Amino acid sequence: MKTFIRKSVIAASFAIALLAANFPTHAQDEKLVYNQSSNSAIGVKVENAVGASFVIKDKKGNIVHRGTVKSDKTFYISTAKLGKGEYQFQMGSLVLQEFVIK
């Protein structure tokens, strides 16, 4: 039973990685800028990725926030949790968006 569960988890992870690789990458070309005083949260929408894990990394590559996509609807991340700086929203090794909080 444990072997079946492990194989299922590996297969699901592989499927999620394949889905993430097919996301449009045009968002990478633009770095969004959020003013912390006027934007208390950042809205993120990732279609067809329910259950996929994501991380937000700072300029140095440190993970400052991690989570799981719970629905195809927009979810919000507090800018207070991130602080001022440059960040990347990543799923696996794919950078979906770069943004700055001022």
Q: How confident is the model at residue 14 (pLDDT cuts 50, 70, 90)?
A: very low
Alpha-carbon separation of residue 61 from 5, 10, 38, 49, 93 (angstroms): 32, 26, 26, 23, 12
Strand pairing partners for 98? Answer: 31, 88
* Number of domains into which the chain is organized: 1
Per-residue confidence (pLDDT) for residue 33, from 0 to 100: 87
Q: How confident is the model at residue 10 (pLDDT cuts 50, 70, 90)?
A: low
Residues 56-79 have pLDDT tens digits of 999 999 999 999 988 888 888 888
What CATH number should be reported for the domain holding residue 81? 2.60.40
Answer with the residue of higher pLDDT: 34 or 7.
Answer: 34
69: containing domain: 2-101
Residues 22-53 have pLDDT tens digits of 444 344 457 888 888 888 888 888 888 888 99
